[in-house]
Amino acid sequence: MSTSDLHYLTALEQAELIRTREISPVDLVAASLDRIERYDDTLRAWITVKPELALEEARKAEAEIASGTYRGPLHGLPYGVKDQMHAVGFPTTLGTKVLDEPETVAPEDAVCIARLKEAGAILIGKQNLHEFGKGGTIDFPFGQPRNPWNPDYTASSSSSGSGIAPAAGMCSFAIGQDTGGSVRGPASCNGIVGMRPTHGRISRRGCAMHAYTSDTLGPLARTVPDLAAVLEAICGHDPKDPLSAQRPVPDFSARLGEGVSGMRLAIVREMAWGDSTDPEVRAALQAAVETLERAGARIEEVSLPLAKWAVPLQLLSADADVASYFLKNYLRERYMRFDRGTRTRLAASSLIPASAYNRAMRARVLVRRQVLEAVGRYDALLSPTNVTPPKPIEATQERVDRKDELVTRLIERRICHYPFSLANVPALSVPMGFSRAGLPLALQIAGKPFDEATLLQIGQAYEAAARWSSLHPDLDRTLRLVA
């Protein structure tokens, strides 16, 4: 097979070619590096790429496989990580110019990177993000991330580069981080699959993560089976991470292909049909529901009346957690080195009174209880991942010009993400079609704590029936749009 044909194969298809030695890891890594060289000046998915290091690791993988040592389906696959995870040999920039160079030196590999290394995957680089992993960056220090379907449009929130790169065929998969939607949003806007797993499923050790009540790592890939394979490699208890769950890791791939016949699913009314939900998103969601019903699922509606309150409660608590770290370490002394969007958000969050924080944390329990009661009654809950199609970059920047815009802007971008983040339950985003402008739309599937396997089963059944994941952006056309 020509290496020019490799980039949009699924990760598992690439893996099978490596296993049977029809291609080598060197071929695949070289193909990824070529895509990055050709297109990343426009898309800005990457901050740091180490071509020689990646090719050296690819040659080691090639030699291992040739000698009969095959580590499994990730062996020889190139991937990238959001640049808030430490990797020896790579700087950890956190997408900011606030840090001085000595502060970016990685002390060790993050646990998730160490586990992927053990599985034989090859880290080729660190990916672009909103500054310090917080949404709202206006001027990106390492370049504006752009949507591979149309570069004038947003690639979504914090883990933006980790959504762009697999969608653009620059790597087989990526690892992002999700506090309030920063895996699911980029998956949705870039037309790939992404999962926020249950809080505690993946060790956070070795990552710069400051919203301790909500932060979790999560994989992004082109298909659900690819995602399941990555999830198996990176999940598992870490005794040195106090927030790591002591749950056994199931075979996430075992139930793929079993379908949804007889499953009880519920559409979340406030997310699906609310005033903020764009008509194009409603139509795509209705078509997705009909696809799942034809596959044998029984679908009802459920109400989460407290869902919208997850947005201010998360901002009052998780944002305050983050601000408390930066106030002491950087915000006071290096305020003007922050992007103006980031510093405004952090400065405001640092002024939240302890009494307000305390009440928000208590109120979060009520929202969490309502979400847990709903997921307990059904196999999964359904909603759009985003209530609007991807917007032009200018329209997504966190600026509010009028008071009457404030609530609408806050709720619109977060209503489908924050309730499940606040409840710390797993949620999966799967492609659900395209807007009239040709931008991706996505279906979100949320479920019980530690029941990622059921979400993957549902997601794979929908993906196989709808076939949206088989479509990919034409990057040469993307470059012409910029020109």
Which one of the listed residues 182, 203, 317, 349 is annotated catalytic? Answer: 182
Query: Tokens 């279906």 correspond to what residue?
Result: 443
2 lies in some domain: no
Is position 82 annotated as part of the catalytic site?
A: yes
4 lies in some domain: no
The answer for residues whose C-beta is within 8 angstroms of residue 11's C-beta and 6 or more apart is: 73, 74, 77, 172, 173, 221, 222, 223, 226, 229, 230
Which one of the listed residues 24, 32, 158, 203 is annotated catalytic? Answer: 158
327 lies in some domain: yes
Which one of the listed residues 82, 126, 134, 308 is annotated catalytic? Answer: 82
- Determine the distance from the C-alpha atom of residue 367 to the mean position of all C-alpha atoms in its chain, rounded to a whole number: 23
284 lies in some domain: yes
| Single-letter code of the amino acid located at 230 | V
5 lies in some domain: no
Angle subtended by helix axes 279-294 and 452-466, to nearest 10: 100
Is position 158 annotated as part of the catalytic site?
A: yes
39 lies in some domain: yes
340 lies in some domain: yes
| Domain with 413 in it | 10-482
**pLDDT tens digit string along 51-93?**
999 999 999 999 999 999 999 999 999 999 999 999 999 999 9
Predicted local confidence at residue 410, as pLDDT: 67
- Our count of domains for the chain comes to 1
Nearest to 71 by CA among 80, 81, 62: 62
Residues of the chain with pLDDT under 50: none
Predicted local confidence at residue 5, as pLDDT: 82
Predicted local confidence at residue 212, as pLDDT: 82
**Cα separation of 185 and 187, whole Å?**
5
444 lies in some domain: yes
Predicted local confidence at residue 150, as pLDDT: 97
**pLDDT tens digit string along 253-304?**
999 999 999 999 999 999 998 888 999 999 999 999 999 999 999 999 999 9
What CATH number corresponds to the domain at position 439? Answer: 3.90.1300.10
Is position 160 annotated as part of the catalytic site?
A: no
Cβ-in-10-Å burial (0-12, 13-18, 19+) of 144 comes to middle
